[in-house]
Amino acid sequence: MQPSHQTLVSSYGEPFLRYVLAISENVSLSDGLNATAPELQVLLTDIGTPGPNEGGDGNHIQASFNTATRFSQYLPEQKMGFANQIRTLCGGSLGDVPSSTDPVLQSLRAIAHDMWPTYLLPPPAEGPRTFWMSSGPVGIYQHPELATLHRNFANDETLRPLFPSLTVPEDAADWTKWIDVQAVWTLNAGSGGSHQMMGVFGSLLLDAVLRTRLSDGELTHDGLMRELAVSLNAFRKLATKKPVHVPAIVGLSGVQLEDGQQIELASGIIRKISDLERDLLLNSSNLVTTVFETTFPLQILDISNFDPTDDKWHKTYQKYGPRFEESHRAFQHSLDQVRLAILLCSEGEEYLGSVEVSRFIFNPTQPGGSATWTMDQRQPASYIIPQTKFDEIKEWHSLIGTKHPDSLNIAMKRLLSAASQRADSNDAFIDALIVWENAFGTTTETAFRVTGALAKLLEPDDMEKRLELQKELANLYGIRSRLVHGAKEPAASKSWEYRQRTISIAIDCLRRLYRERPDLLSISSEDRSKRLLLEH
């Protein structure tokens, strides 16, 4: 490929170039560029070349934004966006806007028809990658359908309550008259704040773009027209303050799958990271080795008028703090069950420990969606999950999902922490021993009660082995007790040995409870140990 062509591909990416230059998939990109009129190549090169304060050591986001701005421009005389005009000059077709009886959807589709090629552009090399497009291409605000979209939104009985103080401007045909239409929303994801009606449209468009790429693996005109209806339906349900299950992607490290492999669970899919997640959705994606694709029950909790002089929003945010925590705790619990199912498939001391790196929740109310990530860059050793383990992971996940009691929540979290998150072996050792206590301890717990019950669970048929195991467990328990009460830390080699053994015992403990002794799961930790110690 010629150097000038390589520059174009670097600036615009292959999908955008193929679209605007109408290069079909059965023609190589190099041949297609060779057949492109020289003046068009010069135009693309000029637009894609960063200015003196862009790119390089400058502002990558600004350079990407300026390029997107140019191509999203609406051309009134041609009645289309700039990117679509170039495509028609190259002999390409634009596709049709599907008709709908929903006025809001029809207006959204009309605007998306002209703006969508802009989303084919690659994100900036640095910075928040979804946010640079979060407010929507500038061309949205030049589009003649925008004022109609505002009116249709205001006349929609379901959507109108999102803006309680909404009054239709006298000059409703002028979209600038709608700028002051704002409201404050609070969502259970912990997001919220003031929203302009005009900003909603860019958020909806980007949400549909991301849904299309998640569903189809690529962005196309027809796919976007379809997913706009899905995004709008989700948004309408949110407007009624009902929960909506939106896509959520969790980036994990520590375990890997081979190309093309995936594990389908009741709560989602474990699979390899895609270009969408690597390039757009997940922060610190270079640390992500696999993803869990699931859903999050998004819900608007409160809608109120926007008043910049009032601190009501802060009070509302504090009021709903417990709801935020409840939502994220439930999501985390579901994720932890997946991580535990993987961990219980470990063999020997190669623990299949996974840790969350980042997550992205599709949120049509939030520009750029909702993204979070961990600040701790330490990751566990990474192991490939063999295909022979897939069915076992499914089985463990089903058992955990149907039989896991709340009384073992601490055990689950501490085992995951010990196996995948603790950098210090002593910390992991202590966490793993807490698993034992959570399973069999009491408020007046004794070492014998915990270690005796655990030995009985793991060696139910051989008294000599049980006595030997109980002695080993009691020794480990004593080391932990002395450590937390100020004794000198063991040598690193010993700490690692204690870590590995206590984690192994904790894993075996949960395996036995879920698979062989589910009768013990529904009772308290105290009764669990009592029954084990007293039964024949």
Between CA 345 and CA 351 the distance in angstroms is 8
Going by pLDDT thresholds of 50, 70 and 90, the confidence category of residue 48 is: confident
**100 plus 168 within the same structural domain:** yes
* Structural domain includes residue 13: no
Q: Is residue 10 part of a domain?
A: no
Q: What is the pTM of this model?
A: 0.90
445 falls within a domain = yes
The set of residues, in sequence order, having a beta carbon less than 8 Å from that of 431 and lying 6+ positions away, is: 414, 415, 417, 418, 422
Query: What's the average model confidence in pLDDT over 330-349?
Result: 96
Domain identity same for 362 and 413: no
Residue 508 lies in a domain: yes
Per-residue pLDDT tens digits for 428-445: 999 999 999 999 987 666
Considering the domain architecture, whether residues 58 and 178 belong to the same structural domain is answered as: yes
Q: Which long-range contacts (CB under 8 A, 24 or more apart) does 465-469 make?
A: none
Report the pLDDT value the prediction gives residue 57, as an integer from 0 to 100: 42
Q: Verify that 237 and 146 share a domain, yes or no.
A: yes
Residues 215 and 108 placed together within one structural domain of the fold: yes
φ and ψ of 23, to 5 deg: -95, 115
What lies within 8 Å, CB to CB, of 141 at 6+ separation is 175, 198
Q: Are residues 354 and 427 in the same domain?
A: no
Query: Could you tell me the residue range of the domain that residue 61 belongs to?
Result: 50-370
Tell me: do 356 and 413 sit in the same domain. Answer: no
- The residue written with tokens 């899905």 in the block is 230
User: pLDDT by residue (tens digit) across 291-333?
Assistant: 999 999 999 999 998 877 777 777 887 888 899 999 999 999 9
Both 413 and 327 in one domain: the answer is: no
Helix (H, G, I), strand (E, B) or coil at 94: coil
pLDDT above 50 for 485: yes
Quote the percentage of the chain above a pLDDT of 70. 93
- pLDDT given at position 270: 98
Q: Band the pLDDT of 288: cuts 50, 70, 90.
A: very high
Residue 26 lies in a domain: no
Residue 418 has pLDDT above 80, yes or no: yes
Task: Give the pLDDT score at 372.
Answer: 85
Domain count, the chain: 2
The last residue of a domain, from among 348, 370, 392:
370
- 54 vs 356, which has greater pLDDT? 356
Asked if the model's pLDDT at residue 287 lies above 60, the reply is: yes
Interior angle at CA 247, CA 241 and CA 253, nearest 5: 135
Structure-token pair, residue 420: 């995948």
Q: Is the pLDDT of residue 243 over 90?
A: yes
* DSSP 8-state secondary structure symbol assigned to residue 464: H
Residue 11 forms part of a structural domain: no
At 374 the pLDDT is 80
Give the model's pLDDT for residue 58: 44
Split at pLDDT 50, 70, 90, the class of 47 is confident
Q: Evaluate whether residue 9 is within a structural domain.
A: no
The answer to whether the beta carbons of residues 304 and 253 sit under 8 Å apart is no
In this structure, the answer to whether residues 229 and 308 fall within a common structural domain is: yes
In a shared domain, residues 230 and 286:
yes
Q: Mind listing the pLDDT tens digit for each residue in 131-142?
A: 556 656 788 989
Q: Round the average pLDDT of the chain to a whole number and report it.
A: 89
Q: Is residue 5 part of a domain?
A: no
Check pLDDT > 70 for residue 56: no
Work out the average pLDDT over 341-363: 94
237 with 119, same domain: the answer is yes
Q: Write the pLDDT tens digit of every residue in 371-393.
A: 888 877 566 678 999 999 999 99
pLDDT for the residue numbered 185: 93
Show the tokens assigned to 362: 């599709």
Give the total residue count for the chain.
536
Q: Are residues 420 and 366 in the same domain?
A: no
